Amino acid sequence: MRSHSPTGGDAPLGPEWPEGYDRIILETVDSTMAEAARQATSLLKPTWIMAETQTAARGRQGRPWIVPPGNLSATLILKPSCTMAEAAKRSFLAANALYEALAYYADPAKLGLKWPNDVLLNGGKVAGILLESSGNGHYLNWLSIGIGVNLAHVPDGVTDAAFAPTSLHMASDDTVAPDDFLTKLASAYATQEMKLETMGFDRIREDWLQHAARLGEVITARTPLADFTGVFDTINADGHLILQTADGPKAIPAADVYF
Ligand code: BTN
């Protein structure tokens, strides 16, 4: 299999499991998000929960997520001391890490991040991210970042998606094992956290914008209040989508948007 490294050149030795992160691997679970919520208060370190099979996996906007065996299902539980608004910025760290992990296996020129945090490969959806959190309305108790990647199979029966599903396997000859992918993803995520700590959210934002698939396109962002159509311009320092609409620039929080 061709192996792309985010820093250029081939990467013969994959990354190691990152220091400071735990990992729990389950055979079967209802949803790794549900398992994360059950375990969150007792966990002492950031922890990845991976399951070989999920029986009730969830997607964004209350949709089910279909996971054929061989695809990746994992949730990262974090407990940073911060506000809930700050915690939402972690979705960009996760999206960058997911992009970088996929870029080991697929041609980076064919990959793109679609607002708010799906990954497109050859124009189809190869991976999605779901954020769930618990807090007191202002401060965060825990945040879980659920990641589903169509590694081996394109799920059947996805009819309501704006972007047809695809798989990593369709773009490369080989099949990537979920635990190998998880190691790359966990390592890329740990690097993103380090960048956030040393360089701030601006650096994360820059990475995200470099990987973004739809800058400059006219898009419609549907929010609970209204639909907004405009040119997808950038994300701002708060992690809000800036859309250039006919009425001027509009900043829309990621959590409010669905397409
Ligand atoms: C989306 O709708 O695009 C987000 C999909 C997120 C799916 C993942 S699979 C691992 C984790 N557990 C779940 O139940 N959902 C997320």
DSSP string, 52-112: EEESS-B-GGG-B----TTSEEEEEEE--SSBHHHHHTHHHHHHHHHHHHHTTTS-GGGEE
pLDDT given at position 158: 75
Q: How many angstroms does the Cα of residue 82 sit away from the middle of ligand 1?
A: 24
With a 6 A CB cut-off, is 91 part of the ligand 1 pocket? Answer: no
Across all residues in the chain, what is the average pLDDT? Answer: 89
Of 38-42, 104-108, 210-214, least confident by mean pLDDT is 210-214
Q: Identify the residue whose tokens are 């490369």.
A: 172
With a 6 A CB cut-off, is 163 part of the ligand 1 pocket? Answer: no
Strand duo 47-54 + 22-29: pairing: parallel
CB 92 within 8 A of CB 159: no
Q: Which of 26, 35, 65 to mutate to test the pocket of ligand 1 (most atoms within 8 A of CB)?
A: 65
For the residues 125-145, what does the mean pLDDT come to?
93
Give the tokens for residue 106. Answer: 């697929």
Which atom of ligand 1 is least distant from the CA of 128?
Answer: 3
29: Cα separation from own chain's centroid: 20
For the residues 84-94, what does the mean pLDDT come to?
90
Q: How many angstroms does the Cα of residue 155 sit away from the middle of ligand 1?
A: 13
**Cα–Cα dist 94/192, whole Å:** 8
The answer, yes or no, to whether residue 245 has pLDDT greater than 90, is yes
Q: Which of 28, 61, 63, 73 to mutate to test the pocket of ligand 1 (most atoms within 8 A of CB)?
A: 73
- For the stretch 161-219, pLDDT in tens is 678 899 999 998 778 999 999 999 999 999 999 999 999 999 999 999 999 987 888 88
pLDDT band at 160 (very low <50, low <70, confident <90, very high): low
pLDDT given at position 53: 96
pTM of this prediction exceeds 0.95: no
